[in-house]
């Protein structure tokens, strides 16, 4: 063993006997590169610009010890991402450029990163200054992995192996984009070989898994695999040390299962997971002595000056795009009551879907209850708030029995306890509560789940189980997403690949000015009055809806120049 004197004389670096590694992680950024809300036209309490400040601070505090990773869903979601994917594509992708500027070290794809297609994803990744890894995305032609299964990075002499896995649900939701090009294997079935190799090659094993912890899948898993299977990593023979969880848009500081630490930062860069790993050297190898994790909110963190300045031109372009006027609304059309009673704004969406597809019926949901149009100029950003996803329009053929099953599944959204108190079922996201236009029905909250849809008629005739209808809906729902298994196997009668936000924008331009009175039909209602009143109270809707079939009396004040 060298003495301290010999180390000083000979210039030999002393061998470390302890180390501290800091893993910084994000997930589900969904296009939020800057610290700006392009729809609301106000600062955004998240985004990579704020994340970059946190990273810089940690690197200054822990020099040579920080490693930065992302667990997927980067390239789609925010108007910033949409603009540079569809309106004005450029290379490098500004999303990847933001990650390069922030200093990411490794990432794995999420399911939404395939939404624009395989070629745009591969081009974006090609411009990254950091590697992408995946242990379960295979090219169908060769059955070879699309990306390296893992990478080994070093900090303070410690070898950290990082792999990634993506929920196989992408094979359901993005099958049109993936087609015969890519296969995404089930998480649990594809991890063993990769983790075995990682354990041989490194001192610390980290998994970036774009899959929720556990629970029911939103699709039929036969031949696909569970949607949310991250917790299964704790039951493997060769376990990882740390798992960064994504996809489910939840937040988890540090959950330890079977000795494995699971962390999950909030989506959109609203928080950052920071995992501290302490190690000691024993018999020539590193041994972990402690893992502790924390969450750092970014809402009050100042955006990175470097990233903000470098993306200023891109920011200005997107801000101008969302502010583009496309038409005029003659009266208010808001979504605030859309889960309580029929609204002009959802009727507008459904009428556009029916007209383009020629379907008998149309289904949609309220993605954002704060969305809608004021009696004023309608701008691109308002449509993106109303319909924030890049789903395409599809129509399927359904029997009367399946139509009723569809509505019964949607009506699970409301929960009623033993004494009749009404609440929202917290296991059903609001965007999975669909309403149908073209049919009339009541949601009777006196009845149990599965028996709530009463008085279902189409064109004035009671729907019979053997009847046949065409239903317009979005491409995501058509896959059965959200647990709508009754759609499985339904024949597709219309599919031209038209993006629904584009159709809505085109319709506003064609029809402007938009008159809410044209979309005032009352197709459905919650009954009886007592639970209906409770539902209205849940959403702050004071006025009682008109009976099914009635028409609104709408008094409009047309705004004129100078008024």
DSSP string, 269-324: GTEEEEEEEEEEEETTEEEEEEEEEEEEE-TTSPPPHHHHHHTHHHHHHHHHHHT-
* SS3 category, 15: coil
Rounded to whole angstroms, the Cα distance separating 372 from 374 reads 7
Extended strands (E) in 430-474: 434-437, 439-444, 453-458, 461-462, 468-474
User: Given this model, what pLDDT does residue 439 score?
Assistant: 97
User: Given this model, what pLDDT does residue 14 score?
Assistant: 58
Range with lowest mean pLDDT among 216-220, 399-403, 473-477: 216-220
Rounded to whole angstroms, the Cα distance separating 562 from 347 reads 31
Does the pLDDT value for residue 3 go beyond 60? no
User: Given this model, what pLDDT does residue 557 score?
Assistant: 32
Rounded to whole angstroms, the Cα distance separating 82 from 384 reads 10
Local structure of residue 479 (DSSP, 8 states): T
3-state secondary structure 83-130: HHHHHCCCCCCHHHHHHHHHCCCEECCCHHHHCCCHHHHHHHHHCCCC
pLDDT digits (tens, 9 = 90+) for 27-70: 999 999 999 999 888 999 999 999 999 999 999 999 999 999 99
What's the mean per-residue pLDDT of the chain? 92
| Cβ–Cβ < 8 Å for 230, 245 | yes
Question: What value does the mean pLDDT take over residues 225-237?
Answer: 94
The answer, yes or no, to whether the previous bond of 513 is cis (omega within 30 of 0) is yes
> Would the pTM of this model clear 0.85, i.e. be above it?
yes
Angle at 174 between CA 125 and CA 368, to 5 degrees: 95
Question: What value does the mean pLDDT take over residues 281-286?
Answer: 90
Rounded to whole angstroms, the Cα distance separating 119 from 125 reads 10
CA nearest neighbour of 293 among 332, 261, 251, 341: 261
pLDDT digits (tens, 9 = 90+) for 368-395: 999 999 999 999 999 999 998 889 999 9
| Cβ–Cβ < 8 Å for 451, 408 | yes
For 529-546, give one letter per residue: b (16+ CB within 10 A) or e: eebbebbbeeeebeeebe
* SS3 category, 257: strand
- Which position has the higher pLDDT, 361 or 176? 361
Rounded to whole angstroms, the Cα distance separating 437 from 452 reads 18
Does the pLDDT value for residue 270 go beyond 80? yes
User: Given this model, what pLDDT does residue 180 score?
Assistant: 84
| Cβ–Cβ < 8 Å for 72, 113 | yes
pLDDT digits (tens, 9 = 90+) for 506-543: 999 999 999 999 998 789 999 999 999 999 999 999 76
| Neighbour-count burial of 430, counting CB atoms closer than 10 A to its CB (0-12 exposed, 13-18 middle, 19+ buried) | middle
User: Given this model, what pLDDT does residue 517 score?
Assistant: 94
Rounded to whole angstroms, the Cα distance separating 473 from 420 reads 33
Rounded to whole angstroms, the Cα distance separating 266 from 264 reads 7
User: Given this model, what pLDDT does residue 562 score?
Assistant: 34
Per-residue tokens: 25? 């992680």
CA nearest neighbour of 363 among 433, 303, 434, 294: 434
| Cβ–Cβ < 8 Å for 19, 158 | yes
Does the pLDDT value for residue 184 go beyond 80? yes
Per-residue tokens: 69? 């990773």
Local structure of residue 16 (DSSP, 8 states): P
3-state secondary structure 208-241: EEECCCCCCCCCCCCCCCCCCCHHHHHHCCCCCC
pLDDT digits (tens, 9 = 90+) for 107-155: 999 999 999 889 999 999 999 999 999 999 999 989 999 999 999 999 9
* SS3 category, 58: helix
CA nearest neighbour of 209 among 252, 172, 179, 176: 252
User: Given this model, what pLDDT does residue 544 score?
Assistant: 56
Q: What are the backbone dihedrals phi and psi of residue 411, each rounded to the nearest 5 degrees, phi first?
A: -70, -5
Extended strands (E) in 336-449: 361-365, 372-373, 377-379, 392-399, 414-416, 422-424, 434-437, 439-444
Question: What value does the mean pLDDT take over residues 281-285?
Answer: 89
Per-residue tokens: 223? 């031949």
For 113, 134, 212, 473, the CA distances from 400, given in Å and listed in that order, are 36, 43, 34, 16
- Residues listed for the chain: 563
Cα–chain center distance at 458: 34
| Percent of the residues in the chain that have a pLDDT greater than 90, as a whole number | 83
For 83, 229, 464, the CA distances from 169, given in Å and listed in that order, are 25, 11, 33
| Neighbour-count burial of 410, counting CB atoms closer than 10 A to its CB (0-12 exposed, 13-18 middle, 19+ buried) | buried
Cα–chain center distance at 250: 11
Range with lowest mean pLDDT among 49-53, 465-469, 550-554: 550-554
CA nearest neighbour of 369 among 415, 312, 431: 431
């Amino acid at each position: 063993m060298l003495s301290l004197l010999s180390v000083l004389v000979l210039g030999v670096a002393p061998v470390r006997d302890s180390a501290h590694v800091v893993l910084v992680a994000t997930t589900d950024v969904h296009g939020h590169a800057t610290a700006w809300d392009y729809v609301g036209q106000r600062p955004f309490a998240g985004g990579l610009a704020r994340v970059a400040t946190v990273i810089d601070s940690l690197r200054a505090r822990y020099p040579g010890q920080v490693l930065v990773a992302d667990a997927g869903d980067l390239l789609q979601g925010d108007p910033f991402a949409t603009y540079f994917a569809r309106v004005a594509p450029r290379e490098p992708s500004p999303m990847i450029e933001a990650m390069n500027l922030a200093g990411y070290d490794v990432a794995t794809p999420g399911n939404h990163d395939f939404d624009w297609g395989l070629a745009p994803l591969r081009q974006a990744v090609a411009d990254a200054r950091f590697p992408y890894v995946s242990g379960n995305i295979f090219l169908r032609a060769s059955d070879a992995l699309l990306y390296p299964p893992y990478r080994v990075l070093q900090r303070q002499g410690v070898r950290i192996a990082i792999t990634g896995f993506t929920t196989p649900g992408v094979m359901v939701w993005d099958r049109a984009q993936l087609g015969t090009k890519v296969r995404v294997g089930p998480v649990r079935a594809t991890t063993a070989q990769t983790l075995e190799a990682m354990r041989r090659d490194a001192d610390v094993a980290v998994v970036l898994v774009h899959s929720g912890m556990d629970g029911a899948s939103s699709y039929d898993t036969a031949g696909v695999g569970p949607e949310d299977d991250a917790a299964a990593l704790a039951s493997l023979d060769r376990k990882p040390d740390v798992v960064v969880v994504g996809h489910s848009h939840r937040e988890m500081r540090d959950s330890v299962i079977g000795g494995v630490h699971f962390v999950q930062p909030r989506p959109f860069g609203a928080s950052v997971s920071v995992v501290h790993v302490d190690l000691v050297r024993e018999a020539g190898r590193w041994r972990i002595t402690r893992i502790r994790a924390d969450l750092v909110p970014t809402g009050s963190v100042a955006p990175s000056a470097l990233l903000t300045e470098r993306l200023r031109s891109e920011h200005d372009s997107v801000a101008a795009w969302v502010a583009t006027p496309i038409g005029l609304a003659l009266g208010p059309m808001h979504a605030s009551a859309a889960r309580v009673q029929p609204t002009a704004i959802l009727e507008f969406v459904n009428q556009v879907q029916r007209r383009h597809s020629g379907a008998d019926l149309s289904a949609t949901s309220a993605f954002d209850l704060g969305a809608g149009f004021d009696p004023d100029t309608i701008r691109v950003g308002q449509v993106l708030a109303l319909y924030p996803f890049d789903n395409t329009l599809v129509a399927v053929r359904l029997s009367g029995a399946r139509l009723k099953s569809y509505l019964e599944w949607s009506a699970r959204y409301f929960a009623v306890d033993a004494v009749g108190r009404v609440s929202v079922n917290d296991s059903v996201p609001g965007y999975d509560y669909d309403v149908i236009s073209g049919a009339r029905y009541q949601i009777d909250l006196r009845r149990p789940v599965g028996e709530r849809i009463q008085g279902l008629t189409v064109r004035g005739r009671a729907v019979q189980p053997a009847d046949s209808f065409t239903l317009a809906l979005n491409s995501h729902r058509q896959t059965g997403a959200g647990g709508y298994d009754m759609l499985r196997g339904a024949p597709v009668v219309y599919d031209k690949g038209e993006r629904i936000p584009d159709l809505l924008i085109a319709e506003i331009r064609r029809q402007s000015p938009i008159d809410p009175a044209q979309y005032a039909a009352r197709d459905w209602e919650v009954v009886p009055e007592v639970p209906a009143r409770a539902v209205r109270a849940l959403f702050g809707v004071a006025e009682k809806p008109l009976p099914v079939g009635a028409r609104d009396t709408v008094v409009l004040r047309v705004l004129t120049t100078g008024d």
